[in-house]
Structure 1
Amino acid sequence: MTRVIACIDGSASAPAVCDYAAWAAVSLETPLTFVHVLDQRQYPVAADLSGTIGLGSREHLLDELASLDEQRGKLALEQGKIMLAAAKDRAMKSGVDAPECKQRHGDLLDCLQELEGETRLLVIGRQGESSSGLNQHVGSQLENVIRIMHRPILVAPVHFQKPESAMLAFDGSATTRKGVEMLASSPLLKGLPIHLVMVGQENHESSAQLGWAKDILVNAGYAVFAEARSGEIEPTLHAYQKEHGIDLLVMGAYGHSRIRQLLVGSTTTSMLRTTTSPLLLLR
């Protein structure tokens, strides 16, 4: 059975991740699993310090260092259990029936790939536990997660706000056309007005593509507002979103047109950093 998978850590985004995951699980009527991964780079299972003996370290000091390493790992494990328990309680208060909790020791990317087969939607914070400030770059592993996952990803900001409207950045590519069909067939955003925004020069072809997307969503029961605008993609999308007070931005994770620039290199980081709303990436 597929489920919503939510990544929980000690970051400022963790409460919002819980709330967006609970909202998604209730909307999709699907189970919810919280996952906490103890990064092996921060909390190694066992320390091997034998190589430092030749540098003059004393044996009792090595024992103490190994013991401290072990204590750090145990404390991190216990902290993770506490965070998972709190996340489960928070989700149940939001209407989720019996969320599951999983704790892993290893690499986040490996863990998510292992769980990909049962993932319907991944919810992850914009910044991870190791990020030092909210105005810093997005979480160091987020872009890697976006690249390796072949499931929809909901990137949560620091604060939760229940989505009341959504905007789909549409460019007519196969990726965004598939995204339109995914939204039409999914209960996730049912009942929300959808704004279809195409950035670029308006012509007969773009108008036809926008009309096709609008018809698909209208036939699925959505209230749809479709508009083509000229300008640079990122500021144009942000301006439209602010102008209409839209709560959720929806995009194709990888396209084959100008929209692709949003998720490659520095532009990806910029888009994720500058938006204050959740970002749903469709694959």
Structure 2
Amino acid sequence: MTEQVMAAIDGSQFSEGVCDYAAWASLALEAPLTFLHVVDNHPQTAEADLSGNIGLGSREHLLEELSQLDEQRAKVAQEQGRLMLKAAKERAVEDGVGEPGSRQRNGTLVETLAELEEDIRLLVLGKRGGSAHQDSEHLGSSLERVVRSLHRPILMVPETFQRPQKVMIAFDGSNTTRKGVELLARSPLFSGIPCHVVIVGAETGDNRSQLDWALSTLREAGHEAEGAIRAGDVEETLRVYKEQHDIDLVVMGAYGHSRIRHLLVGSTTTAMLRRASVPVLLLR
């Protein structure tokens, strides 16, 4: 199967943003678009909870009724998912995508994406913000595991689509971020978009040569490019630069060799993505 843009929707308030960013990416990359909905049937703990003083017959009857309710809930969840996928495809068609596809799976988001990884060129997910509805909890809590398990670019997006006008890459000279610069340089996704390269660290000869390489790589590919080396806390420094230069898409390596690695590995991954007000493209 041709590698495609895959967009995971879950009924949260991020779904519209996911649809629109996925459509934008699909058109720019000239890649097929598939929407994915995963029905996560959480195991019920009712049986353990009901082991009190009720009679055996009553308990068995109650468990049977709970089992039937579980089946009904699963059917409702699947039907809701089908309706969401239908609406997502209609929205993508309105955005200009020819024939978007859809998939519905049972299981967990992480396991499902691992199974589909070979089909994915770019994964689009919604970020769970501080005011997110509980319906999106499973998606938000899965962010770190998705990043750890998937070896494909992941685009985390906000609720509302805004066509990117300026992109910033957090660069640390690692293999991942060097590949990221090369990706920016050649990808149709960033065609015509000015690029900013930011190194968080000291003004050293090595950092300066790394920055010069990144800028020349981008400029040789026809991009308008500028860069900076700034000392300070990684997350705060990148946030300030983003705000000062009106950056509306950030590219980061999910795993690098510097402090950026420590920023993105562990519990701070979800926190950083939650605070970001613009799309974040994570590279592996």
Q: Please state how far the C-alpha of 1:137 moved relative to its aligned partner.
A: 11
Q: Report the Cα offset of residue 262 of structure 1.
A: 1.7
SS of 2:190's equivalent in the other structure is: coil
Contact 1:137 1:273 in 2 (8 A): no
Hey, what does 1:79 align to over in structure 2?
Answer: 80
Q: Distance in 2 between matches of 1:137 and 1:51?
A: 23
2:208 maps to amino acid:
S
Contact 1:138 1:269 survives alignment (8 Å): no
Say if 1:261 and 1:268, in contact at 8 Å, map to a contact too.
no
C-alpha separation between the residues in 2 aligned to 1:29 and 1:11?
27
Q: State the distance in 2 between where 1:61 and 1:277 align.
A: 48
Q: Would you say 1:20 and 2:21 are equivalent positions?
A: yes
Question: What secondary structure is seen at the aligned counterpart in 2 of 1:188?
Answer: helix
Residues 34-71 of structure 1: per-residue CA shift (max 9 Å, x gap): 000000217x7xx9969968952344433322222111
Q: 1:2 and 1:62, CA in 2 relative to 1: closer, same or farther beyond 3 A?
A: same
Q: What are the within-5 Å matches in structure 2 for residues 1-283 of structure 1?
A: 1-41=2-42, 56=55, 57-127=58-128, 132=133, 139-283=140-284
Report the Cα offset of residue 172 of structure 1: 1.2
Secondary structure in 2 matching 1:231: coil
Could you tell me the TM-score, scaled by structure 2's length?
Answer: 0.91
Hey, what's the Cα distance between the residues in 2 that align with 1:102 and 1:95? Answer: 20
Q: Any idea what SS the aligned residue of 1:139 has?
A: helix
CA deviations on 1:134-180 (whole Å, 9 max, x unpaired) are 9x998110110000000000001122211111100111112111111
Contact kept, 8 Å, 1:169 with 1:250, in 2: the verdict is yes
* Larger displacement relative to structure 2 (24-33 or 157-166): 157-166
> In 1, are the aligned partners of 2:167 and 2:248 still within 8 Å (CA)?
yes
Instruction: State the distance in 2 between where 1:207 and 1:104 align.
Output: 48
Contact 1:53/1:59, CA 8 A, preserved across alignment: no
| 8 Å contact kept, 1:49–1:66 | no
CA distance in 2, matches of 1:51, 1:272: 36
- Aligned identity (percent) is 55
Unaligned runs of 5+ in 2: none
Across the aligned residues of Structure 1 and Structure 2, the Cα RMSD in angstroms comes to 2.5
Report the residue type matching 2:283 in the other structure.
L
- Any conservation in 2 of the 1:138–1:273 contact (CA below 8 Å)? no
| Corresponding residue SS for 1:225 | strand
Q: 1:138 to 1:204 in 2, by over 3 A?
A: farther
- Amino acid of the structure 2 residue aligned with 1:244: H
